Structure 1
Amino acid sequence: MEGHTLDLVLVPLGIFSMVSYHAWLLRRITTHPTTTVIGINTINRRIWMKTMMEDPAKNGVLAVQTLRNSIMASTVLASTAIALSSLIAAMMTGCGAYTARSRHLVGDLYSVKLFAILLCFLLAFLLNVQSIRFYSHASLLVNVPVKSHRCAAEYVARALDRGSLFWSLGLRAFYVSFPLFLWVFGPVAMLCCCIVLVILLYSLDVYSGWGMETPPDEETAVL
């Protein structure tokens, strides 16, 4: 009974910390995009796409190869997600049969934990499939000359942004799976993992040096 009480308290607390962080990150991206890695990458992707489409004869092969690499990255994540989903589903089937025979040894909460992990990986699979879809659209349209239509570059850049967005969300689903895995070992481990994950994501998502000029001394040191 005490373990179930900890689950009711610590697990919602860990989920709340993750949701609160991503709500804060979304607000920061929309209000101050140049202070986040996602916002800076979005700006640079649009610049890159317009540069590629200005001279498709010269940059077409480079653009297609870059997008192909992105498609391969999404394909790897999607394949991994669906493989892990199949594994978790098999574990749930075995757990259900064992629970029916020995309910006093295996509780229903264990099945709930596995089901949460399964949903997480299924979501990662769907997001990465959508990422492949938009990357494929962008790779097909990247060689369209900008002169053919004034909105061509903007449309292709938007498709590239959506592909990158779905890829980032799919990767976040993998991140979220770590606390869910540790939930199997107890709510305390799950809460600790959520806190550590929020700290790590903050260090990866926030960047405050965009637009700052590099002092001459630092440029000399780099050279």
Structure 2
Amino acid sequence: MEAWKKDYLDVLLVPFGLLFMFGYHLFLLYRYLKCPHTTDIGYENHNKRAWVARMLQVDIKERGPAVSVISSNISAATALTSISLVLSSLIGAWIGSTKMNLFTGGYIYGSISPSIVYIKYISLLSCFLVAFACFFQTTRHFVHASFLISMPNSDVPVSCVQREVIKGSNFWLIGIRSLYFATNLLLWVFGPIPMFICSVIMVGVLFNFDRNTTPLHQYKPIGRNELSNIDVKKAAAIKADENLLEAQTN
């Protein structure tokens, strides 16, 4: 009877833990679609759209900070892509090996049958592969946004750059959430009870992190006076370059 309880803990606690995580993320998606200002995701995307609109209104020579910001995001996404790929390779090699007795001892309070052990590792591998694909797509969209922002002498639509930045941010978010799920499944290796406890704690922590109580700031576009000041500075810089060239020629 005791062996039956231990074996079926995986059948009871693991699905409940995963449903708890999936249910929370469905609730978060519903809040983001219906009331985006109440979520931290909607708050960040609102600021990113305003940032892109502001950056595209300045001269091409003054967009260096924008390119630097996107480059830092590309570097972070590339690093997480490499980490996810390495972990996926290690787990795949571990599954392919015949020595998988490390986490099948009697101290694991749960099922230690070979089929359950393989399901644990395959589930963990799937999460890291999803994270790898999402971080790779993040890099692709941010690279495209960097090209659009740094394109000289071209009237690039603001919506095009905003779409690339928001898509890259969304793929980044999905990749991070996949790592959260991978953390839960990693604890499942030590038994279904740590996995279920981790699911409950993580949902509570994410609920506090994902909600937003700060009102959305209504950004104002660059006014005519600011645009005229930018044009004056641009004309002054061009005039200075012409005077310097003329002095060198003489």
TM-score by length of 1: 0.86
**Aligned equivalents of 1:97, 1:193: Cα separation in 2:** 27
Look up the equivalent residue of 2:150 and give its one-letter code: N
Residues 1-223 of structure 1 mapped to structure 2, 5 A cutoff: 1-94=4-97, 96=98, 107-144=114-151, 148=155, 152-211=157-216
- The aligned length equals 205
Look up the equivalent residue of 2:146 and give its one-letter code: S
Look up the equivalent residue of 2:72 and give its one-letter code: N
**Aligned equivalents of 1:13, 1:120: Cα separation in 2:** 18
**Aligned equivalents of 1:211, 1:134: Cα separation in 2:** 25
Check 1:147–1:91 CA distance in 2 against 1; reply closer, same or farther (3 A cut).
closer
**Aligned equivalents of 1:7, 1:81: Cα separation in 2:** 26
**Aligned equivalents of 1:185, 1:2: Cα separation in 2:** 16
Residue-by-residue CA offset, 1:63-93 (whole Å, 9 max, x unaligned): 1110000000101110110010111111111
Sequence identity, in percent? 34
Cα contact 1:98–1:106 (8 A) shared by 2: no
Task: Give 1:55 shift.
Answer: 1.0
RMSD, aligned CA:
2.0
Which moved further from structure 2: 55-64 or 158-167?
A: 55-64
Check 1:143–1:112 CA distance in 2 against 1; reply closer, same or farther (3 A cut).
same
Cα contact 1:81–1:121 (8 A) shared by 2: yes
Residue aligned with 2:63, SS: helix
Check 1:146–1:53 CA distance in 2 against 1; reply closer, same or farther (3 A cut).
farther
Residue-by-residue CA offset, 1:86-111 (whole Å, 9 max, x unaligned): 111111112x4668xxxxx8622111
Name the structure where helix makes up a greater proportion of residues: 1
Q: Which blocks of at least 5 consecutive residues in structure 1 are unaligned? A: 100-104, 213-223
Cα contact 1:134–1:159 (8 A) shared by 2: yes
Cα contact 1:35–1:207 (8 A) shared by 2: yes
Cα contact 1:53–1:146 (8 A) shared by 2: no
